[in-house]
């Protein structure tokens, strides 16, 4: 084959189909090819077929991961909010945050729909306590309606290699689930079914230990009996996680009996 021929064909994005299907392209090439795919149904179908082949190359390498991985994945999933499905009224806004994996995965990058906007406010949020506590899944969506500014930080804890899940019971009612990462010195706290306090009292979360008693945050009871997620960072050796019902507005140090005390 003549070099000139190759050059000319090289400008034809379609020759990149094989390289694209194997992720063997640079980021600019990938973007260029995906623009091409978006307007070429036949190409998208070819890529789909090639991906079936590469998938077999992948499954041929199967090796079981450590048993601990499953625990981490299930725990993290339980606390990870799912993306809503794409709805077919696509507005033309540019997507972009999530890398599009070609036409077949274009839905990934679609902007969120208004109807789901409230539920979608938080990117990675949280609170599949439904799973942890075995609630029925149909009601999960309603339970997961809280936006969190700290979702990135939360996601980082949930997906940390050493993330570990603990649960505890609150005196007076309610269940607490935490996912903690020692390497990140942080934990994510969620609670279910905390009792409503009289107006003069608010729940306050604490870290208590040799390093002193530090307030983490006041807890606002969420909708549907779900509270959190909130993040507690700056964990130190010997810390306990504690919950008290303080005078409304909170206190600098715990002044009331602990309703929860978990050694971290």
Q: Report the site for another protein in 14-53 (rule: CB under 8 A).
A: 15-19, 21-26, 29, 44-46, 48-53
Shortest Å distance, C-beta 15 to another protein: 5
What DSSP string runs through 73-98?
HHHHHHT-PPPPPP-S--------SS
**Closer residue to another protein, CB minimum distance, 70 or 253:** 70
**Closer residue to another protein, CB minimum distance, 7 or 149:** 7
Is residue 96 involved in binding another protein (CB under 8 A)?
no
**Closer residue to another protein, CB minimum distance, 39 or 65:** 65
**Closer residue to another protein, CB minimum distance, 84 or 168:** 84
Number of other residues whose CB lies within 10 A of the CB of residue 13: 17
Task: Rule CB under 8 A: choose which of 82, 152, 200, 236 binds another protein.
Answer: 82
Residue 242 has φ and ψ, to the nearest 5°, of -130, 155
x/- letters, 106..145, toward another protein (CB under 8 A):
-xx---------------x---x-xx-----xx-xx----
Shortest Å distance, C-beta 174 to another protein: 21
Q: Which two tokens stand for residue 6?
A: 């190759």
Q: What is the spatial distance between Cα 124 and Cα 178, in angstroms, rounded to a whole number?
A: 16
**Closer residue to another protein, CB minimum distance, 170 or 186:** 186
Give the neighbor-by-neighbor strand order of the sheet with 164-169: 164-169, 175-181, 186-192, 226-233
Closest CA to 76 of 147, 138, 148, 164: 164
């Amino acid at each position: 084959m003549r070099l000139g021929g190759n050059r000319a064909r090289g400008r034809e994005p379609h020759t990149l189909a094989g390289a694209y299907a194997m992720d063997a392209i640079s980021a600019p090439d990938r973007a260029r090819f995906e623009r091409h795919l978006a307007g070429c149904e036949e190409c998208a179908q070819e890529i789909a077929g090639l991906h079936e082949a590469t998938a077999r190359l992948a499954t041929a390498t199967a090796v079981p991961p450590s048993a601990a991985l499953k625990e981490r994945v299930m725990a993290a999933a339980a606390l990870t909010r799912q993306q809503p499905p794409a709805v077919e009224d696509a507005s033309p806004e540019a997507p972009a945050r999530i890398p599009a994996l070609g036409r077949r995965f274009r839905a990934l990058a679609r902007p969120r729909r208004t109807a789901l906007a409230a539920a979608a406010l938080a990117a990675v949020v949280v609170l599949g306590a439904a799973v942890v506590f075995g609630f029925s899944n149909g009601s999960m969506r309603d339970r997961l309606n809280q936006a969190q500014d700290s979702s990135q930080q939360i996601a980082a804890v949930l997906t940390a290699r050493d993330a570990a899940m603990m649960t505890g019971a609150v005196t007076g009612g309610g269940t607490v689930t935490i996912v903690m990462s020692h390497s990140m010195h942080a934990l994510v706290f969620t609670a279910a079914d905390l009792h409503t306090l009289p107006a003069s009292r608010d729940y306050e979360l604490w870290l208590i230990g040799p390093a002193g008693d530090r307030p983490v945050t006041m807890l606002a009871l969420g909708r549907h009996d779900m509270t959190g997620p909130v993040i507690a960072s700056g964990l130190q050796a010997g810390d306990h996680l504690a919950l008290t019902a303080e005078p409304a507005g909170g206190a600098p140090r715990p002044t009331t009996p602990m309703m929860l005390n978990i050694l971290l």
